[in-house]
């Protein structure tokens, strides 16, 4: 066999060759330092290319796309797009936002925290942008959004270690309080920053060995809407239980039955003084 | 249309966005493309064959729409990502350098011909096999192999020319 061409070498690196040809190229690589260098270069540029686009996988998916995937009307999609773009201009980058979150404390999880940031109450933090969601989206849309975010991260799978902005065990803002749901058999896995209703929100992710109950996600954001007692909803096979208290909106999501979510809601509300 | 169809669509959105971002070179255009693909997929859900790969079917829709768009108009190269939002002035130098290296890779990719770029994104970025990528692109496996090789060689040359590999991959990953 003559010296492998770049095309064969690339196919070899991609694992696309048959056994015989693979062995032949392996022999060439053993004896040809120049070919080894070429293979290393090609591998490195491929790794760089993957790294260049990996962050897209871990960005929050814009609501307009979740809405489009659910087949919602164009008007809703366009509004969400406009909100998303405005938010992008202000926020720029999730890391910056994460830093801001650490500095400003996390909405409903504050212990005596004074600065809310979810609803644009601080014009300096929000670059003068006014809250865009003066009215709450229709309940079906909200439930579907929460359920969509729930599925998105459940489907990401445990091997996707970058799916959390702050994994469990890593340092959280000093006044960040995570509801302890261990008595329910739920283990906290991490925090993810999202955009819901055009506003930043925080998603807490819990898993359990009991597949009938988990995983469970809890989304917390700020709202200008009045308090609301627990209200159940459903999107596909995901149950959503939402409530509002004292300027914060909460939504529990999971495939567990509503009775279970209701009990969790009571416990979380008690722990966070959110009822 | 089944509930499962919407769920599958939502689950594959991050990968579709990554593919579209690579094709268009623009965050906004990529999301527009994915949105159009979702709408088309929902309108043609009956054409999806159960038992076949849903992600490949969606990649194919994204690529088809993108090619249609390329044919219909000149694609603007203006990129919302280039507005500097990702490189904060207070970022540590090392991270900023890594970001620059990755930006260099994205810029290099944009200079690669469209069909080669698509092959590169499907195989090298998304990890599809040559056969799967060939099905998405609706071309023979040999064509994918050839497009991919040309793309990888071109990318390598552009990065070498721009010293894009001055940083090691491990450094970039450490980002």
B112: confidence class by pLDDT, cuts 50, 70, 90:
very high
Nearest-by-CA chain B residue for A56: B18
Q: What is the Cα–Cα distance from A41 to B78, expressed in whole angstroms? A: 30
**pLDDT score of A82 more than 50:** no
A–B CB contacts, 8 A cutoff, strictly below = 145
Average pLDDT over all residues of chain A: 71
Average pLDDT over residues A22-46: 91
- Contact with chain B for residue A16, Cβ under 8 A: yes
B98: confidence class by pLDDT, cuts 50, 70, 90:
low
**Which A residues 136-155 touch B at CB under 8 Å?**
148, 151-152, 155
A64 neighbors B1 (Cβ within 8 angstroms): no
Helices (H), chain A: 6-13, 19-31, 33-58, 63-69, 74-91, 94-104, 139-156, 258-271
**Token reading at A21:** 């040809």
pLDDT at residue B137, as a whole number:
92
- Greater pLDDT, B60 or B76: B60
Residue B14 to chain A, least CA–CA distance (Å): 5
A94 neighbors A165 (Cβ within 8 angstroms): yes
Q: What is the dihedral of CA A6, A11, A13, A19, to 10 degrees?
A: -120
Q: What is the Cα–Cα distance from A144 to A67, expressed in whole angstroms? A: 8
pLDDT tens for residues B27-54?
A: 888 998 999 999 899 988 888 888 888 9
Of B17, B124, B168, the CB nearest to A56: B17
Listed range (A232-241, A242-251, B81-90) with the worst mean pLDDT: B81-90
Of A47, A57, A71, the CB nearest to B14: A57
Average pLDDT over residues A54-78: 74
- Apex B153 CA angle, B150 and B159, nearest 5: 135
- Contact with chain B for residue A75, Cβ under 8 A: no
CB-CB under 8 Å, B130 with A47: no
Chain A contacts of B42, Cβ < 8 Å? 69, 71
Average pLDDT over residues A146-171: 72
Average pLDDT over residues A76-92: 42
**pLDDT score of A157 more than 90:** no
Chain A contacts of B153, Cβ < 8 Å? 6
**Which A residues 190-229 touch B at CB under 8 Å?**
none
The neighbouring-strand residues paired with A195 are A200
- Contact with chain A for residue B163, Cβ under 8 A: no
Residue A227 to chain B, least CA–CA distance (Å): 31
Chain A contacts of B35, Cβ < 8 Å? 64-65, 68, 77, 81
Q: What is the Cα–Cα distance from B15 to A77, expressed in whole angstroms? A: 20
pLDDT at residue B41, as a whole number:
92
Average pLDDT over residues A41-45: 89
Q: What is the Cα–Cα distance from B86 to B103, expressed in whole angstroms? A: 10
């Amino acid at each position: 066999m003559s010296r492998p061409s770049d095309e064969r070498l690339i196919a070899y690196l991609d694992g696309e060759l048959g056994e015989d040809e693979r062995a032949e190229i392996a022999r060439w690589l053993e004896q040809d330092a120049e070919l080894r260098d070429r293979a290393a270069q090609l591998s490195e540029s491929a790794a760089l290319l993957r790294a260049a686009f990996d962050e897209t996988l871990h960005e929050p998916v814009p609501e307009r796309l979740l809405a489009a995937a659910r087949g919602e009307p164009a008007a809703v999609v366009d509004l969400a797009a406009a909100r998303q773009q405005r938010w992008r201009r202000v926020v720029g980058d999730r890391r910056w936002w994460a830093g801001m979150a650490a500095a400003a404390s996390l909405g409903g999880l504050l212990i005596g925290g004074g600065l809310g940031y979810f609803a644009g109450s601080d014009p300096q933090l929000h670059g003068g942008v006014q809250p865009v969601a003066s009215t709450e989206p229709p309940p079906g849309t909200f439930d579907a959004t929460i359920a969509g975010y729930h599925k998105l991260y459940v489907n990401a799978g445990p091997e996707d270690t970058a799916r959390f902005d702050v994994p469990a065990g890593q340092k959280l803002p000093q006044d960040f309080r995570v509801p302890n749901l261990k008595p329910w058999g739920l283990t906290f896995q991490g925090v993810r920053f999202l955009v819901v209703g055009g506003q930043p929100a925080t998603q807490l992710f819990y898993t359990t060995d009991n597949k009938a109950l988990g995983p469970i996600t809890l989304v917390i954001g700020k709202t200008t809407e009045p308090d609301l007692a627990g209200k159940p909803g459903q999107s596909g096979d995901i149950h959503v239980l939402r409530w509002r208290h004292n300027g914060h909106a909460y939504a529990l999501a999971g495939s567990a039955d509503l009775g279970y979510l209701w009990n969790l809601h009571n416990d979380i509300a008690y722990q966070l003084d959110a009822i | 249309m089944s509930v499962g169809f919407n769920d599958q669509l939502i689950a594959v959105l991050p990968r579709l966005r990554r593919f579209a971002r690579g094709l268009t070179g623009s965050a906004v255009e990529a999301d527009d493309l994915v949105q159009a693909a979702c709408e088309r997929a929902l309108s043609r859900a009956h054409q999806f064959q159960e038992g076949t790969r849903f992600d490949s079917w969606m990649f194919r829709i994204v690529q088809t729409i993108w090619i249609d768009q390329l044919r219909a108009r000149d694609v603007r190269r203006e990129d919302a990502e280039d507005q500097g939002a990702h490189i904060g002035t207070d970022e540590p130098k090392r991270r900023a350098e890594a970001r620059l290296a990755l930006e260099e890779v994205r810029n290099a990719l944009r200079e690669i011909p469209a069909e080669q770029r698509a092959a590169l994104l499907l195989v090298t970025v998304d990890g599809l096999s040559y056969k799967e990528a060939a099905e998405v692109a609706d071309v023979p496996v040999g064509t994918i192999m050839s497009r991919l090789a040309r793309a990888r060689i071109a990318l390598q040359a552009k990065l070498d020319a721009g010293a894009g590999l001055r940083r090691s991959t491990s450094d970039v990953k450490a980002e």
